[in-house]
Structure 1
Amino acid sequence: MPQLNPNPWFLTMIITWMTFLLIIQPKLLPFTPTNLPLNKTNTPNKPTPWTWPWT
């Protein structure tokens, strides 16, 4: 069964993960979001009652 043979793809997977961990991830981690959700105020909305036409 050729799908169980990791020989052709294992090196590609390792190189891909090392590229992500060593190059891409450190470049992405310093970015901070511009609008943090903690700065938003939480105002609860009061629901309006539904007027049923048959009552």
Structure 2
Amino acid sequence: MPQLNPNPWFTIMLLTWFTFSLLIQPKLLSFIPTNNPTDKTTTTKPTPWTWPWT
């Protein structure tokens, strides 16, 4: 069963992760997001639930 031989696949996986980590990820992280997150402040205080039997 050649698919269980980890010799070529482990090297390919490592090269792929190094490529992603060193080349692609910094390029993606350098993009400026178009919608900056804003702080969501709650100005209204929720009213407590009024139970009909109390």
State the identity as a percent. Answer: 68
Partner residue, 1:14: 14
Letter in 1 for 2:18: M
- Deviation of 1:49 after TM superposition, in Å, equals 2.1
Structure 2 stretches lacking a partner, 5+ long:
none
Deviating runs (4+, > 6 A) in structure 1? none
Letter in 1 for 2:32: T
Aligned length: 53
CA-to-aligned-CA distance 1:1-54 (integer Å, 9 cap, x gap) = xxxx642322111210122123311320111222222x3352343011211111
Structure 2 length as normaliser, TM-score?
A: 0.59
Structure 1 stretches lacking a partner, 5+ long:
none
CA RMSD of aligned residues (A): 2.7
Structure 1 length as normaliser, TM-score?
A: 0.59
